[in-house]
Amino acid sequence: MVTVAHEGPIQIIRDNPEVIAQILHTAFDIRIPDDLIIKTTSEEFTQIAPAAYRADNVVEMYRADSSNPTVAVVAETQRRKDPRKRGSWPVYLTTQRARTQCPCYLVVFCHRRSVAEWARKPIEIGHPGFTLTPLVIGPGMGPLVTTPDQATQMPELAVLSRLLDVTPATKEELEITYAALATIESAGHEHAHLYTDLVLEALPTAARHILEEFVATGIADYEFKSDFARRNQAIGRAEGKTEGEAKGLLIVLESRGIEVSDEARERILGCTEEQQVTAWLARAATVESVDELFD
């Protein structure tokens, strides 16, 4: 089973290796030509290195008229500090360089800030000028996708950013995540539901509730197409309508000078049956007390 902590980011790259080019450009200002063909080649890579030195994923980028890669990227997910990686990461990169004879980069995904800070430290090989500084994506580095509109253009990058907690899970950031997830699902992506599950699992409880509310109400112009999400949206919209009528009922009662106790207010606002609230609203114009409303 795919786990958030390790396989989530790698699964996204396997599904859409173009996200690596977006990461290099957005996070590290390394520009990749738009005309390159990008594909994941991790299985080929593992065949040229001993088992102890196998990377999580490798992405290679080709020109249309060439069978030799122009750029290669080794991608790793690191959950904890592991001194052995400072020995194996250079092996990954130099082995890939020896095979492809092209510029090679190491990108490391970290879920915890302390691990990200550790992973960013330069690795001194010993030979003069031979130092490897990993390119790290993780908490606290700042946003990679800044608006919901950008998220619709780079949805996998937005989801990856959320899985790695690149920015705090504020309501504004979760709207960006929602736009990305809705875009992926609307496109009919085979792993759309998996991505949603991964994000929900990665979020703290309060943030998860905010995202679930977005799914239920269908904010902005982004809409999920799955039956599950559509049901949530329909329920959310119905609840929103009922809540609005309940508030309108209280306004009518107060405008007529009818006293509403805290208990009655709680009963009115807590009612989720649209027909009941509509019936109360119809009576509100003629009743003389709130008790009469409930009779």
For residue 255, the model assigns a pLDDT of 67
**Tens digit of each residue's pLDDT (9 = 90 or more) over 202-243:** 888 888 888 877 776 654 445 444 444 444 444 444 555 566
71 or 212: whose pLDDT is higher? 71
Same domain? 101 vs 235: no
Place of tokens 């130092």: 131
End position of a domain, from candidates 190, 217, 244: 217
Last residue of a domain, one of 217, 251, 274: 217
Candidates 21, 135, 26, 11; CA nearest to 70 is 21
For residue 1, being part of any structural domain is answered with no
Question: 21, 51, 27, 55: which is closest to 41 by C-alpha?
Answer: 55
Pairwise pLDDT comparison (236 vs 91), residue with the higher score = 91
Looking at the structure, do residues 58 and 175 belong to the same domain, yes or no? Answer: yes
Average pLDDT for the chain: 82
Q: Are residues 89 and 181 in the same domain?
A: yes
11 pLDDT above the threshold of 90: no
Indicate if 235 and 260 belong to the same structural domain: yes
The verdict on residue 284 lying in a domain is yes
Please indicate, yes or no, whether residues 81 and 52 belong to a single structural domain of this protein.
Answer: yes
State whether 162 and 287 are in the same domain: no
Evaluate whether residue 12 is within a structural domain. yes
Decide if 37 contacts 17 (C-beta within 8 A): no
- Are both 165 and 231 inside the same structural domain? no
Confirm whether 2 is domain-assigned. no
| The two structure tokens encoding residue 189 | 């992506």
State which H helix or E strand residue 110 sits in.
strand 104-110
Q: At what angle do helices 155-163 and 7-15 cross, to 10 degrees?
A: 170
Residue 252's domain spans which residues?
Answer: 227-294
Q: Residue 49: what residue type?
A: A
Mean pLDDT value across residues 247-270 = 79
Question: 3-class DSSP state for residue 14?
Answer: helix
* pLDDT score, position 233: 46
Long-range Cβ contacts of 261-270 (<8 Å, 24+ apart): 261/290, 264/290, 264/293, 264/294, 267/294, 269/243
Domain boundary among 217, 236, 265: 217
Residues in a beta bridge with 59: 40, 73
- Closest by CA position to 195, among listed 209, 179, 206: 179
Note whether residue 53 is domain-resident. Answer: yes
Do 48 and 186 lie in one domain? The reply is yes
Per-residue pLDDT band at 73 (split at 50, 70, 90): very high
**50 plus 78 within the same structural domain:** yes
For residue 266, the surrounding DSSP H or E stretch is helix 262-270
Number of domains comprising the chain: 2
Q: How many CB atoms lie within 10 A of CB 155?
A: 28
Say what the pTM is.
0.70
Same domain for 237 and 182? no
Whether residue 235 sits in one domain with residue 213: no
Rounded to whole angstroms, how far apart are CA atoms 280 and 274? 10
Shared domain check, 277 and 133: no
